[in-house]
Amino acid sequence: MILNNCVAFIMFRAFLILGGICTIYGAGNGYYGNEGYSLFAFSDIPPPDDLEDIALFKPTHASEPFNEGLTKENAVNGIFNDNMYESKLELMHPWWMVDLMEVRTIHQVQIFTRQGCCSHRLHDLEIRIGQGLVLTGDLSSYTLMSTYKGPYDVSQGHVICSNLRGIAGRFLAIKKVSSDVDHLQLVEVRVYVAKKN
């Protein structure tokens, strides 16, 4: 029994260190700070003061958008209220990525999805980190940081994906991996990295 417990503990720790499953954090509508709750879960990342979000206004790449108003840049423009990137109609395995412009150690990704409608489409995501630009949608060469299975409900908070040790990379990608054609809808994506000394 003791051995089994040890194995389970070791597996649990390894799971945490390697990333694992994204979670929901923050009550309310999931928007950025407007409900007064903390943006961070403190147990699985370095102290928040040691981190900084560097995704805002960085270059982005993505699958074809739903229309000209729902393009990739919208996911890092700092505007909420359903201002978002949305993937094309009936597109399987849509993806989106941000170029951080330099290799940084990524500890946490925060994902804010559409709230006014259709938030149930946020499910079966892979969050991956890469060193080089890949535009084919085949992100298998990127390191898998976390997964988010869902289902997501509009009453829940935002999705956070954490890694205590951090994963070094320049490109942070989010890909939908289920075999349906639910749209990928990203209102904002925050990428928290270790601050430079």
Q: Which residues bind Ca ion (CB under 5 A)?
A: 74, 77, 79, 83, 188
Q: Would you say 35 or 180 has its CB closer to Ca ion? A: 35
Residues across the chain: 197
Nearest distance from C-beta of residue 9 to Ca ion, angstroms: 40
Residue closest to Ca ion when measured from CB atoms: 83
Residue 155, SS3?
coil
Nearer of residues 74 and 87 to Ca ion, judged by Cβ: 74
Question: Can you say whether residue 75 is alpha, beta or left, with left for phi > 0 and alpha for psi between -120 and 50 degrees?
Answer: alpha
Which residue, 20 or 94, is less far from Ca ion as judged by CB?
94
Q: Which is nearer to Ca ion, 55 or 127 (CB)?
A: 55
Give the burial class of 68: count Cβ atoms within 10 A of its Cβ; 0-12 exposed, 13-18 middle, 19 or more buried: exposed
Q: Is the dihedral of CA 24, 28, 30, 36 positive or negative?
A: negative
Work out how close the CB of 67 gets to Ca ion at its nearest, in angstroms, rounded to a whole number: 15
* Contact present, 122 and 148 (Cβ < 8 Å): yes
Q: How far is the CB of 149 from Ca ion (least distance, A)?
A: 24
CB 95 within 8 A of CB 173: yes
Closest CA to 96 of 159, 185, 195: 185
- Pick 77 or 143: Cβ nearer Ca ion: 77
Q: Provide the minimum distance between the beta carbon of 112 and Ca ion in the complex, in angstroms, as a whole number.
A: 8
Q: Let me know: does 137 contact 63? Beta carbons within 8 Å.
A: yes
Residue 52 beta carbon to Ca ion: minimum distance, rounded to whole angstroms: 19
